[in-house]
Amino acid sequence: MWKPDRTSKTALYQQIAEYIEQRITLGEMPPGSMLPSERKLAEQLGVNRSTVVQAYENLRASGIIDSTTGSGTRVTKSRMGMAQLQTPNWNRYVEGGTLLPSLPFLRKIREGVQSGEPFINFANGELAPELSPNEWIRNVLQNQPFHEPLGYGDPQGYVPLRNALASFLLEHRAIKATDDSILVTSGSQQSLYLITQCLLSPGDAVAIENPSYNYSLPMFQSAGIRLFGLTVDKDGVDPEEIRTLFKLHRIRMVFLNPNYQNPTGTVLSTQRRADILACCEQLGIPIVEDDPFSLTSMDEEVPPPIKSLDRSGTVLYIGSLSKVAASGLRIGWMVAPHTVLQRLVDARQQMDFGLSIFPQWIAAHLLDSSALTPHLYRLREALRSRRNLMANALNRMLRDKISFELPAGGLNLWCKINEDVDDYTLLRNGFKRGVLFVPGSVYGSEAGFVRLSYARPAVEDIEIGISKFSEALHETITR
Amino acid sequence: MWKPDRTSKTALYQQIAEYIEQRITLGEMPPGSMLPSERKLAEQLGVNRSTVVQAYENLRASGIIDSTTGSGTRVTKSRMGMAQLQTPNWNRYVEGGTLLPSLPFLRKIREGVQSGEPFINFANGELAPELSPNEWIRNVLQNQPFHEPLGYGDPQGYVPLRNALASFLLEHRAIKATDDSILVTSGSQQSLYLITQCLLSPGDAVAIENPSYNYSLPMFQSAGIRLFGLTVDKDGVDPEEIRTLFKLHRIRMVFLNPNYQNPTGTVLSTQRRADILACCEQLGIPIVEDDPFSLTSMDEEVPPPIKSLDRSGTVLYIGSLSKVAASGLRIGWMVAPHTVLQRLVDARQQMDFGLSIFPQWIAAHLLDSSALTPHLYRLREALRSRRNLMANALNRMLRDKISFELPAGGLNLWCKINEDVDDYTLLRNGFKRGVLFVPGSVYGSEAGFVRLSYARPAVEDIEIGISKFSEALHETITR
């Protein structure tokens, strides 16, 4: 996003006014469209509010924008030469559509991340730059000559990558699969999107862990799906609850995240894996097993995935490289029965015509490389030390105020706040102090929880961030 | 897709039986699921039908599959150890969902392309491998050290690529845009998908050229959109028809492909570009200007795009690198007002969490490179000679049977058949002879047209392919 140039001789307010005028002239902000509030634009551009006030005043004086008390600032409708135009009412268009917008909470957090301000980011469950295999990828690019065809690729995914995945899944997750039953996706998000869009119909009932990352995904609501929560105890989800939900609501699919569940960090026990599979096989309902974190074990290994027990084609297994290598690769996968994959492949052609060859080619090299195991070893070490740093800081600064279980893997620490707090106030108080995190209610949990990710911020910022969080929490409690 | 190993000592039928048994055991073909017909599997695997018959007999003898006359072959439901299981009825799941399957015609063609059989492919509107800048891309990968962050990137697209696009659009298309108003997409298909999913609602009426590539996209029907056709004459679409459709059906959007329109090859005249913009501005309805082919001009340049005239934010402009560099890059773009982009960016996060950094990084290097202009020059030369080859062959072999206008750009030749033929029979007769093309009815045109792409097959196959097409056409007519 554009920012004013602080080294230029032109005054900041002048640069801002010129930039907005240019965008209006180009039609990027059509007549009648809304300008951001002065406060918000100041935040986005990293300038004082008074600078934006002055820029808007200038534009108002030229008749380019006008403000009405209470309804904000807009681009003037009746400018020279376009007095008679009924330009599209874009606001009405963007309110339409079947894909619902993201939750306001998440948009607020995303704005913070994108503002370029130096927030300490406990909100994004992603790896810090130094945890990705940068050097290794650079080597692949420079030393492996690229000789792949550059046309539309195989719609199910680059064949060498599917073969590499079949070996990888067998070695690391005890899953037997042929390349025919593997779909390469643009990360787990695309796998979930395809499942909800192609296999479920409006009105369908679905069971998911409560709390769950999936609650934060408007795609379920967009697809008109009714969500029913499954309690997560220390061993994960109880199969009996699935049975009950089936009787009550005829649920058509179960979404599970059995390893270091997002956000709670729970691991589904070995016994329950088998029981849940047997239960769903009996009921004839599929399980979506979302498994992004299993290779991030910091203490001991997790049990084999439900998919490794599946001989009836009941489980759709989802994984990705985002949490163990690089989210910027945008490489994920799904293992599923043939009928399902055929349908999803066909639907994806309509959405984006399949994946770029380049990240697939790189991912195939990474998975085949002997450097994978040492990388995973280093990653786990780094995550363990980050997690411990965060846990120690929390224990030191907030011992009475919060409680948590130490997660044995994954990127997130799920924290219960022992007093009544308002989620949004806590988020805002953190924002003010420069620390970002996700309030638990985003995941559908009752109020009074937060998810703190230890993987993203700089190591040296973890303690500082927790102390900012501590201040924000204290302020929220005493209000 | 798996193929039997012809060098192995194990008999082909035995290999096939073992492979199917393995997939059944893995749950990839769950109990009750349908096996392909013997004929179809033989086609897919490139073996004789009798080989598949024998493999199926083997599996039947072991009780692994069973066949009922008239309802095909299925995986046995009551195998040892899973007699009581109600595995998911995947057929019912895949019939649900909001995204509709592709047209049967297109699936038939795709199956042909993927079968690995040596079809001469006039069906896919994409570049032959030798037309892509392979060497140039290999150089970028080997000589430009990759130092970009590997986390989730900017959801609107990699900033250096957006800057490169702003310069590229100004230089080559006379479009002024800031990086803030450019969205990087996974090709034009994703731009179109986002527009239909986010800006239109079920029941909305939309005007598109008739015939149009967009007719072949089930995403319009998936989104519940009513399509109304605009006649394409030698100068493109008449603005008066847009006005009429607006009065009759309150159309909410106009989709246009003004340069070498797909499939007809028509160029919208300069005057009509201005008139259509003025008309849509007055009616307050947006124009989607899809512009994949403008840089493939073989004879003279096309007029500047409608977007270059747009000062009211009426036009959503779509482009991509697929038809001028490499479809396997999966890099496209959209230029649109800010309000629109914000909405689309947010929605895309739900679909796939944005694009991989790698193709974006490569595309930024390509667009900034001085090698772009010479590449485009060579591409146009190559397309011109391919087009001429095809046109000459058609004139020589089918002078009385067909008529066409020579397209001045793009990848397609739109051919009218001067006698009554059944589309599907023609397609099948071509299939038999090893030539693929797209029947006009896929694009919503009346019967008796075909689209022949000259960009994809090997140059030396163009004449041979046309002679096969000619045979297929003669057989279809005389039946």
Distances (CA, A) of A418 to A233, A404, A421, B465: 18, 10, 9, 75
Whether residue A353 contacts residue B321, with contact meaning beta carbons closer than 8 Å, is answered with no
Q: Identify the weakest region by mean pLDDT among A89-98, A119-128, A282-291, A292-301.
A: A89-98
- Answer yes or no: is pLDDT of B97 > 80: no
Which residue among B1, B2, B87 places its CB closest to the CB of A312?
A: B87
* pLDDT of A81: 43
- Answer yes or no: is pLDDT of A49 > 80: yes
Whether residue A470 lies within 8 A of chain B, CB to CB, comes out as no
Distances (CA, A) of A271 to A151, A277, B93, B346, B444: 47, 10, 28, 40, 56
Whether A12-95 shares its CATH topology with A146-370 is answered: no
Mean pLDDT of B59-77: 83
Whether residue B315 lies within 8 A of chain A, CB to CB, comes out as yes
Cis peptide upstream of residue B36 (ω within 30 degrees of 0) = no
Q: What distance in Å separates the CA atoms of residue B134 and residue B145, rounded to the nearest whole number?
A: 18
Structure tokens belonging to residue A390: 């965060």
Query: A361 phi and psi, to 5 degrees?
Result: -65, -45
Does residue B404 sit in helix, strand or coil?
A: strand
Distances (CA, A) of B444 to A322, B215, B430: 42, 6, 21
Name the minimum distance, in Å, from the CA of B53 to any CA of chain A: 21
Q: Of A408, A429, A196, A422, nearest to A290 (Cα)? A: A196
* Chain B nearest-CA residue for A362: B358
Whether residue A195 contacts residue A288, with contact meaning beta carbons closer than 8 Å, is answered with yes
* pLDDT of B80: 47
- Answer yes or no: is pLDDT of B86 > 70: no
Whether residue A146 lies within 8 A of chain B, CB to CB, comes out as yes
Name the minimum distance, in Å, from the CA of B301 to any CA of chain A: 24
Does residue A137 sit in helix, strand or coil?
A: helix
> Under CATH, which number does the domain A146-370 receive?
3.40.640.10
> Under CATH, which number does the domain A12-95 receive?
1.10.10.10
Average pLDDT, chain B: 90
Q: What distance in Å separates the CA atoms of residue A25 and residue B441, rounded to the nearest whole number?
A: 42
Structure tokens belonging to residue B265: 């090859």
Considering chain A, what percentage of its residues have pLDDT values greater than 70? Answer: 96
Q: What distance in Å separates the CA atoms of residue A263 and residue A330, rounded to the nearest whole number?
A: 21
**Angle value at C-alpha B310, between B305 and B312, nearest 5 degrees:** 160
How many residues would you count in chain A?
479
Tell me which residue has tokens 């106030």: A425
* pLDDT of A424: 84
How far does chain A reach from its first CA to its final CA, in angstroms? Answer: 36
Sort out which chain B residues have CB atoms less than 8 A from A202's CB and list them: 98
- Answer yes or no: is pLDDT of B83 > 60: no
Q: Of B278, B138, B147, B182, nearest to A361 (Cα)? A: B138
Q: Of A239, A309, A281, A272, nearest to B83 (Cα)? A: A281
Q: Does A362 sit within 8 Å of B359, measured CB to CB?
A: no
Q: What distance in Å separates the CA atoms of residue A269 and residue A280, rounded to the nearest whole number?
A: 16
* pLDDT of B195: 94
Using 50, 70 and 90 to split pLDDT, how confident is the model at B85?
A: low
Does residue B329 sit in helix, strand or coil?
A: helix
3 state SS for A26-58: CCCCCCCCECCCHHHHHHHHCCCHHHHHHHHHH
Whether residue A377 lies within 8 A of chain B, CB to CB, comes out as no
Query: A75 phi and psi, to 5 degrees?
Result: -75, 130
Listed in order, strand segments (DSSP E) in A95-173 are 120-121
Q: What is the pLDDT of residues B444-460, one digit of tens each?
A: 877 789 999 999 999 99
Whether residue B89 contacts residue A312, with contact meaning beta carbons closer than 8 Å, is answered with no
Whether residue B63 lies within 8 A of chain A, CB to CB, comes out as no
Strands B332-335 vs B182-185: parallel, antiparallel or unpaired: antiparallel
Mean pLDDT of B430-439: 92
For B53, half-sphere exposure in the C-beta direction (CA atoms, 13 angstrom radius) is 4
| Number of inter-chain CB pairs under 8 A, A vs B | 392
Mean pLDDT of B109-130: 85
Interface test with B, best of A24, A188, A316, A327 (most B CBs within 10 A): A327
Q: Does B328 sit within 8 Å of A28, measured CB to CB?
A: no
Q: What is the pLDDT of residues A124-181, one digit of tens each?
A: 999 999 999 999 999 899 889 999 999 888 999 999 999 999 999 999 999 999 999 9
Whether residue A283 contacts residue A205, with contact meaning beta carbons closer than 8 Å, is answered with no
Count of Cβ atoms closer than 10 Å to residue A235 Cβ: 13
- B134-370 adopts what CATH topology? Aspartate Aminotransferase; domain 2 (3.40.640)
Whether residue A334 contacts residue A183, with contact meaning beta carbons closer than 8 Å, is answered with yes
* Selected residues 196-225 of chain A with any CB under 8 Å from a CB in chain B: 197-202, 204, 217-219, 222-223
Q: What is the pLDDT of residues A370-424, one digit of tens each?
A: 999 999 999 999 999 999 999 999 999 999 999 999 999 999 999 999 998 888 8
Domain ranges, ordered by start, for chain B = 12-95, 104-131+374-478, 134-370
Mean pLDDT of B363-383: 95
Q: What distance in Å separates the CA atoms of residue B153 and residue B150, rounded to the nearest whole number?
A: 8
How many residues would you count in chain B?
479
Whether residue A37 lies within 8 A of chain B, CB to CB, comes out as no
**Angle value at C-alpha A66, between A60 and A72, nearest 5 degrees:** 125
Q: What is the pLDDT of residues A430-464, one digit of tens each?
A: 999 999 999 888 888 777 899 999 999 999 999 99
Q: Does A86 sit within 8 Å of B283, measured CB to CB?
A: yes
Sort out which chain B residues have CB atoms less than 8 A from A185's CB and list them: 352
Sort out which chain A residues have CB atoms less than 8 A from B181's CB and list them: 23, 26, 28
Distances (CA, A) of B283 to B218, B244, B287: 27, 11, 11
Q: What is the pLDDT of residues A214-235, one digit of tens each?
A: 877 778 888 888 999 999 999 9
Whether residue A127 contacts residue A323, with contact meaning beta carbons closer than 8 Å, is answered with yes
> Under CATH, which number does the domain A104-131+374-478 receive?
3.90.1150.10
Average pLDDT, chain A: 90
Structure tokens belonging to residue B387: 């087009």
Distances (CA, A) of B308 to B48, B125, B254, B434: 57, 26, 17, 44
Q: What is the pLDDT of residues B149-195, one digit of tens each?
A: 998 889 999 999 999 999 999 999 999 999 999 999 999 999 999 99
Query: What is the amino acid identity at position B156?
Result: Q
Max Cα–Cα distance, chain B, nearest Å? 74
* pLDDT of B27: 81
Q: What is the pLDDT of residues A173-212, one digit of tens each?
A: 999 999 999 999 999 999 999 999 899 988 899 999 999 9
| DSSP code at position B262 | T
